[in-house]
Amino acid sequence: MPIIHAIVLGLVQGFSEFLPISSSGHLLLVPWLFDWNDFAGPDGDSVKKTFDVALHLGTFVAVLGYFWRDVAVYVREGTKLVFSRKRPTTVEGRLAWFFVLATVPAALVGAVFEDVIDTALGTPLIIALSLIGFGLLLGWADRLSGERELEEFGASDAVKTGIAQTLALNPGTSRSGITITAARWLGFNRDAAARISFTMSLPVIAGAVLVKSVGLFSGEVDSDLYVPMAVGVITSGLSGWFAVWGTLKWIRTHSFMPFVIYRVALGAFMLLLIVTGVRSGSG
C-alpha cells in the first residue's frame, strides 16, 4: 500500500468518524472512486478489515484524548457501583452506566448479524441511498427545538439512542449521525447531542478494536503493511481529534445542515456514477 493511500484513508477515517457523514461508508467509497486495489488477493477482505480496525484505534485514542477528563470522572464514579455495591449517587456515575447501556443494542445486533452485514451491506448503491436518506433524517431532527442538557440523559434515552446506533452497522448511515439524530429527536441541544454521540463511541470503538484486532497477531497482515498501518493510525488519530474539536465548536453557533447538504450531494453524485455506468453499484 502506498503511504499516500494510508494518509488519505487515515484522514477520511478521522474526520468522518465524528462528523455525521459515515466513516465506514467513506472508507469503502474512496477506494471505489479512485479504483484503488490495495487489498487484492485471497486474504484481501480480512486484511482490509484489520487495516480498518487499526484506523479505528486512532480515532479511539483521539476521542479518549479529547474527553479524558470526563472519562476519568465517569470511570471513577461509575465503578463505585462495582466496589461499593451502591447505586451511583452522582450525575457522572449515572451517566457512565447509561453510556454503557447505550452500547448494548449495537453490540448484540453486530454479534448476531456480523456475516449478513459483511456480505449484504456496504455496496456503493446502498451507501449512496443511506447517505441521502439518513442525511435528510438528520436535517429533519436538527430542526426540532431541543434544550435538554447532557446531565438529563437517562436510561430511556440510552436505550433509544442505543437502538438507533444499531442502524450505523450499515455503511453509509453514520454512527455519529444517527446518534446525534436520535438525541436531537429526544430534545437534547446540539452540544449535548454531539457529546452524547462522541462519548457513546468510546465503548463501541474499543469493543470493535478488541474483538477484531486478532488479525494483527495472527499472521494475516504482511509485514509490508505495518508502516502504512502505523501512518494510518497516527493520521486518523490527529484528524479525529480536530474533528471532535471542530464539530463541538461549530455547533455552538451553527446547525448540522452543511453536513446534510454534503451527504445528499455525495449520495446523488454516487448514484449518477452508478446510473451512467462509470462505476458499479455492487462494488
**Euclidean distance between CA atoms 46 and 175, whole angstroms:** 22
User: Containing domain of residue 122, as a range?
Assistant: 3-275
H helix intervals, 88-189: 91-112, 114-120, 124-142, 155-166, 175-185
Residue 180 lies in a domain: yes
Q: Report the predicted TM-score, pTM, of the whole model to 2 decimal places.
A: 0.89
Residue 137 lies in a domain: yes
pLDDT in tens, 67-105: 999 999 998 888 887 776 667 778 989 999 999 999 999
pLDDT in tens, 104-113: 998 899 888 8
Q: Which amino acid is at 189?
A: N
**Euclidean distance between CA atoms 81 and 153, whole angstroms:** 18
Residue 281 lies in a domain: no
**Euclidean distance between CA atoms 117 and 122, whole angstroms:** 8
What does the block give as the cell for 136? 435528510
For residue 155, what pLDDT is reported? 94
Residues whose CB is less than 8 angstroms from the CB of residue 208 and which lie 6 or more positions away in sequence, other chains included? 53, 56
Number of domains in the chain: 1
Residues whose CB is less than 8 angstroms from the CB of residue 115 and which lie 6 or more positions away in sequence, other chains included? none
Give the residues across from 188 on adjacent strands: 148
pLDDT in tens, 127-149: 999 999 999 999 999 998 788 99
User: How deeply is 154 buried, as exposed, middle or buried, from its count of CB atoms within 10 A (0-12, 13-18, 19+)?
Assistant: middle
Residue 109 lies in a domain: yes
* 113-138 mean pLDDT: 89
- Among the ranges given (86-90, 154-158, 167-171), the one the predictor scored with the smallest mean pLDDT: 86-90
Residue 283 lies in a domain: no
What is the phi/psi pair of residue 86, to 5°? -115, 150
pLDDT in tens, 19-31: 999 998 999 899 9
Q: How far apart are the first and last CA of the chain?
A: 20
Residue 187 lies in a domain: yes
Instruction: Tell me: pLDDT of 43 over 70.
Output: no
Instruction: Tell me: pLDDT of 208 over 80.
Output: no
* 49-63 mean pLDDT: 87
**Euclidean distance between CA atoms 40 and 7, whole angstroms:** 19
∠ at Cα 204 (159, 247), nearest 5°?
Answer: 90
Please report, rounded to a whole number, the percentage of residues in the chain having pLDDT higher than 90: 58
Instruction: Tell me: pLDDT of 232 over 80.
Output: yes
Residue 240 lies in a domain: yes
* C-alpha closest to that of 136 among 246, 20, 29, 251: 20
* C-alpha closest to that of 54 among 233, 264, 203: 233
* C-alpha closest to that of 63 among 216, 190, 235, 239: 239
**Euclidean distance between CA atoms 77 and 13, whole angstroms:** 31
